[in-house]
Amino acid sequence: MNWREAALKIADMLVNDSQVSVRQQAAISLAYLMSQETGPALVKALNDSSISVRNAAAHTIGIIRYKAAEDALIKMLPAEEESFYRTAIAALGKLQSKKALPLLKEALKHKNKYINIEAVRAIGEIGDTAIDYLLPYIKSQNEPSLRAEAALALAKLGSKEGLSAARELISSPDFVVKNNALNAIVAASDIDSLPTIEKMLTEETDERVKSILDFAAQNLRDIKAKETKPEEK
């Protein structure tokens, strides 16, 4: 119901209720209420005895962008619980934590691919100062899903250094990889890839894949139209 008047009451339940399920639900509910006043309770919940509560609290901190939690999250990395490690990384990305960049760089080397992916995404959200962390990574990375994520992150940061990888990966049989590669091409305004995508669209039979190809093609057509309009005048 998004009843913000309940925020502090729910925050109190997050910290003090004896039942794990109640504390977890309280942390989740606070993501909908978007109240910065609940931030201190969420930070305290990062040390809850239950991993489910810690995960929910970290996730909500990212959602409400409670910047004051930055140092507390940084101190908890690297985390032994891989699920919390991923959630904390994602939260730091939402907080655009430049202070966390060295730790996120270390997370790129983790054995868990999904932690790598979360670190790439987080770095991509932090800003152009993070480009130097991703350039060597995409050049050394062979795993398609990680290359596609890095290409997309670079494109969002305004860099075209991942375009060659994105152009290659739009032919991937993996739907997520293909989608990220297409999104990278659109984010980089790569209208040179439009003919290739349009050709793929005419040949594709899978409706789900056709939908993302069509979406990318339409976005690139719009970008092209905006770029050519001044010349027509």
Do the domain assignments include residue 107?
A: no
pLDDT at residue 230 greater than cutoff 70:
no
144: preceding bond cis by omega (within 30 degrees) = no
30-89 confidence digits (pLDDT tens): 999 999 999 999 999 999 999 999 999 999 999 999 999 999 999 999 999 999 999 999
Opening angle at CA 68, ends 49 and 134, nearest 5: 95
Q: What is the average pLDDT score of the chain? A: 92
Instruction: Report the share of the chain in percent with pLDDT over 90.
Output: 80
Q: Convert the pLDDT of each residue in 120-150 to its tens digit.
A: 999 888 876 778 878 888 888 888 999 999 9
Contact (Cβ atoms closer than 8 angstroms) between residue 148 and residue 119: no
Q: Which CATH number goes with the domain that contains 27?
A: 1.25.10.10
The answer to whether 175 and 213 have CB atoms below 8 angstroms apart is: no
What range defines the domain where residue 20 resides?
Answer: 1-95
Is residue 90, in this structure, part of any structural domain at all?
A: yes
- This prediction has a pTM of 0.80
Q: Do 135 and 232 share a domain, yes or no?
A: yes
Is 90 exceeded by the pLDDT of residue 94? yes
Summary count for the chain: helices (H), strands (E)? 14, 0
Whose structure tokens read 């976005």? 219
Of residues 232 and 133, which shows the higher confidence score?
A: 133
Q: What percent of the chain has pLDDT over 70?
A: 97
Amino acid, res. 228: T
Q: What share of the chain is helix, strand, coil (3-state, %, to 5)?
A: 80, 0, 20
**pLDDT value of residue 132:** 81
d(CA 147, CA 139): 8
Considering the domain architecture, whether residues 233 and 131 belong to the same structural domain is answered as yes
Q: In terms of domains, do 132 and 36 share one?
A: no
